[in-house]
Structures are given as structure tokens and as C-alpha cells.
């Protein structure tokens, strides 16, 4: 998975979100995501991270995304 594909998937799920994705190792399987979304309003950080991980559930389960660091906040 490329950073562009990961970013597009998150942007498609979280309308009007600001998303940045970084490939931490150059191997296209260790990523850092910075996301600001209005859907996170009123949610704890754990709830926000669970939503992001839910969008990437199949990629995480298959190992396509091996490691994911999430920095999230409400917009």
C-alpha cells in the first residue's frame, strides 16, 4: 500500500478530513497517520484511533499495513 492509497482511503471515509501519511521505513508497511476530522468531535483518543483502525481493518489483518502510528484530533 502506498501513502497515497492510504491517504485516499481515509479521506474517502472521513469526509473533509485533513490527512497526512508518512512511510516510516520506506517499505510501504509501517505508516504514521496524522488526521483531523470533524467526526472525532466528542470522542476520546482511543475511540478516534479505533475508527481509523476500523477503516484499515483488512489491511492490518492481512499484514499489508504492519505498523500504524496514529495522531488524531477533532476538527
- For the chain, what are the domain ranges? 3-74
What cell numbers appear for 11 in the block? 479521506
* Per-residue pLDDT at 22: 97
* Per-residue pLDDT at 27: 93
Fold topology of 3-74: GMP Synthetase; Chain A, domain 3 (3.30.300)
Q: What is the tens place of the pLDDT at every residue in 2-53?
A: 999 999 999 999 989 999 999 999 999 999 999 999 999 999 999 999 999 9
Give the closest residue to 39 by CA, choosing from 59, 12, 57.
Answer: 12
Q: Read off the pTM.
A: 0.91
The separation between CA 30 and the C-alpha centre of its own chain, rounded to angstroms, equals: 12
Q: What is the tens place of the pLDDT at every residue in 51-65?
A: 999 999 999 999 999
* Per-residue pLDDT at 23: 97
* Per-residue pLDDT at 21: 98
| DSSP type of residue 27 | S
Amino acid at each position: 500500500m502506498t501513502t497515497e492509497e492510504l491517504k485516499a482511503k481515509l479521506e474517502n471515509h472521513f469526509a473533509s478530513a485533513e490527512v497526512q501519511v508518512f512511510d516510516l521505513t520506506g517499505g510501504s508497511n509501517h505508516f504514521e497517520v496524522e488526521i483531523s476530522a470533524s467526526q472525532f468531535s466528542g470522542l476520546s483518543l482511543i475511540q478516534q484511533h479505533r475508527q481509523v483502525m476500523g477503516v484499515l481493518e483488512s489491511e492490518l489483518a492481512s499484514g499489508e499495513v504492519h505498523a500504524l502510528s496514529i495522531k488524531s484530533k477533532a476538527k
